[in-house]
Amino acid sequence: MQKLLKITFFATFALSIAPVALAQLSVVPDPVQYIVAPEAPQPGQKVTIAAQGVGGFLGGATITWTKDGKVALSGLGETTFSFTAGALGTQTRVQVRIVSSSQGTITHDFTFLPSLVNLIWEADTSVPPLYRGKSLYTAGSSIKVVAFPTIVVKGVRVPSGSLTMQWFVQDTPAPEQSGLGRTSISFAGDQLQAQETVAVDVYYGANKVARGEITIPTSQPLVLLYVKDPLRGVVYDTVLPTSIALNAKEFTVQAVPYFFSNSSLKNRSVTYGWTLNDDEAVGPNSAKGILTLRQAGVGQGAAQLAVTLQNTESDKFVQTANAVLQLVFGQSSGSSLFGL
């Protein structure tokens, strides 16, 4: 009885794998592959379609390209066809018909719908109050990129919530931030990269209708020095020059970081180091970027004040900056610190 059961099991197993083996043997590769560049054209952009065949049969085949129902190109071995995409939302249909003595007749249809997607980026980096410029990206800081797609189908603009976004960072897919209506992506940059490249493929249903790409350059952080007035606070409208003449016994200087990671500043991971004539200078608020200097004695002289900012987080360690201020005292010439 035991032997009979073993034989029955073997027979059943053999029958179950036989159809799988036959199915694998019946697979025939597609004799023609198509390369389309770009797959999702913008309005007025040149589009090229290239047919590539297994073996050399395409060279002796009659290939006819039809654009919007009219023959645009036909002849032996015409494997490449180019055309100019129409206006925004204007559909273009292309068909290729290949007649070969060895492969028979092969046809393939393409549909193009010119669309646009604009990408805007913003970096989460520091700038002073009332700063009118853009917060620049510095290595390792956080970035947000927002897509503004313009997809027109049959004269009607498709809302962003009906579009699927597939995001890429440095050519690597970001599936966790992709999906229906996901029009933005946020990520921390790589401090070892000279720039960050972000791209998005836009799909309407199963059709890829647009692609956008943007390159975000890496900038260097800065530190600039400002006067901190007891009554007016930090005077942000005037940056201290490289050299000033002191007309008072005391003044306070504020070091202001530009384009350092905001999260690092919030976590106090950015340190301030002050020196006066290469000797360490400290004060009650020097760790916050504020230093007060008092002139002792009389006479004339000069001193060099320097400050260095360093991000101590391991993934943002390249964020560093310094500033130097030459102080001249006991003289009436030169730029006046308090002539504001």
Of residues 203 and 294, the one with the higher pLDDT is 203
> Would you say residue 339 has pLDDT above 80?
no
- What is the average pLDDT score of the chain? 88
Q: Token match 């200078």: residue?
A: 281
Residue 30 is predicted with a pLDDT of: 78
pLDDT tier, 29 (very low <50, low <70, confident <90, very high otherwise): low
116-217 matches 222-329 in fold: yes
Beta carbons within 8 Å of 137's beta carbon, 6+ residues apart: 121, 123, 125, 143, 189, 196, 216, 217, 218, 219, 259
Specify the range with the lowest mean pLDDT, choosing from 54-63, 140-149, 169-178, 220-229.
54-63
What would be the CATH architecture of the domain defined by 222-329?
Answer: Sandwich (2.60)
* Token digits of residue 49: 């379609």
The yes/no answer on whether domain 32-112 falls in CATH 3.80.10.10 is no
Contact criterion met (CB below 8 Å) for 223 and 257: yes
Q: 65-101, pLDDT tens digit by residue?
A: 999 999 999 999 999 999 999 999 999 999 999 999 9
Residue 179 is predicted with a pLDDT of: 98
> Would you say residue 6 has pLDDT above 50?
no
pLDDT tier, 248 (very low <50, low <70, confident <90, very high otherwise): confident
Domain regions of the chain by residue span: 32-112, 116-217, 222-329
Q: Are strands 233-234 and 270-276 parallel, antiparallel or unpaired?
A: unpaired
- How far apart, in whole angstroms, are the C-alpha atoms of residue 46 and residue 92? 12
pLDDT tier, 9 (very low <50, low <70, confident <90, very high otherwise): very low
CATH no. for 116-217: 2.60.40.10
Q: How many other CB atoms are found less than 10 A from the CB of residue 305?
A: 20
Q: 202-212, pLDDT tens digit by residue?
A: 999 999 999 99
> Would you say residue 275 has pLDDT above 90?
yes
* Average pLDDT of span 321-331: 87
Q: Token match 């028979």: residue?
A: 104
